[in-house]
Amino acid sequence: MSTTNFALLALHRSLVSIDCITENEHPCSVFLAEHLRALGWTVETQLVSPAEGSRPARENVFAYPGKNRNVRAVLNSHIDVVPPYIPYREDDENVYGRGSADAKGSVAAQIVAADELWRDGRLGEGDLGVLYVVGEEADHVGMVEANNLGITPEFLIVGEPTELILAKGHKGIIKFRVEVTGKAGEFWRPLRLPGARHFRDRCPNRGPLHAETPSKYGSQLHLSIPGISPTHFTHLQALPVDARLGETTMNIGLLSGGVAANVIPALASADIMCRVTTTVDDLWRLILEAVGDRPGVRLVRQTTFEPVRCEVVEGFETDVMKYNTDIGAWKSPVKSYLYGPGSILCAHAPHEFISKKELLQSVDGYKRLITTLLQK
């Protein structure tokens, strides 16, 4: 086994073997800081949130060879993973475990690539640093805090599972909730049923109906579903399309309403995620127009991130990534690149894995990308 192979697989194994689900990244931050110091790099840790009770502190790790911290290029990825933790295992071809592809494969390959370039004399002080952040899988809090490091790189190279494809960009996000309330399923007028006067005297004026009456008084959950289906959003029959990033998509991920199977629900809601390719404001305007002023319908805008358009380099296969990354949380002007080993199709899955061959190839890919940008 070559020196590169051994160093890469050993580092990757150590990283995947650390349980660092979001908000518990501390063990991985400590390991990376120690590993990079052992390589002779200057290491800074940036506090994102302090320890509180049983919850450990959360820290980003920023490191660079030499003493010049305001580097031209930053290699970046995240160290948190989604639950549940899945232990490391391997066979002849693949490495399995939580984070093996998303995104500890990128972290390991970036460090090995950068350190080999430094030791070969192909990088000078101030050329390159690495930045590994917490919280990407939840709210991007680590990358948001990294804006306070006081560095102004020309290039940001973000590692995510792209199958060794250099991304032309990735889609943005609108997450929002539709809440529907109204008269359906409530006593908004006197009941016209036998014994209604006696029944009304004993019950609140506005309360849920028994499930024996849905055909007469309707269900707010049933009434709401057509209103929150994208096929019924008149203005959203054709979602926006961008020439570079492709189609905007909409997914109704969660429907909820009601209190019991034998009670007609008076409230329904849907949590919806749109993958945006134009702009957040353009799509939100279309959503508002589609809903209009329907009584009892409330839209709650939650998370938004604009789509990202990345730079490309000749000699790499390119495509658009359909997921979101930390790039949009980095605020200083920079040319951004998105590249890494592994497939998003198995990220977050019970069988998450990465090919050893692809992991090794990504080291060469990162080297080629770094030297092309720095022209060294």
Give catalytic residues, as residue numbers. Answer: 136
Quick check: 166 and 316 in contact, CB under 8 A?
yes
Helix, strand, or coil here: 142? helix
Return the sign of the alpha-carbon dihedral for residues 112, 117, 120, 121: negative
First and final C-alpha spacing in the chain: 28
Q: Please provide the DSSP assignment of 50-98 as one string.
A: --BTTBPPEEEEEEESSS--S-SEEEEEE--BPSSP---EE-SSEEEST
SS3 content of the chain, % helix, strand, coil (to 5): 30, 25, 45
Joined together, the tokens standing for residue 61 give: 């790790």
Q: What are the backbone dihedrals phi and psi of residue 165, each rounded to the nearest 5 degrees, phi first?
A: -100, 135
Amino acid identity, position 254: L
Phi, psi of 65 (to 5 degrees): -75, 140
What DSSP character marks residue 231?
A: G
| Six-digit token string for 248 | 């905007």
Query: Which ranges of 236-335 does DSSP label H, i.e. alpha helix?
Result: 280-291
Q: Which of 175, 171, 173 is nearest to 272 (CA)?
A: 175
Instruction: Tell me the CA distances in angstroms from 124 to 39, 127, 129, 367, 376, one per residue in order.
Output: 15, 6, 11, 14, 10
Residue 61 to residue 64: CA distance in whole angstroms = 10
- Indicate the burial class of 126 (C-beta count within 10 angstroms; 0-12, 13-18, 19 or more): middle
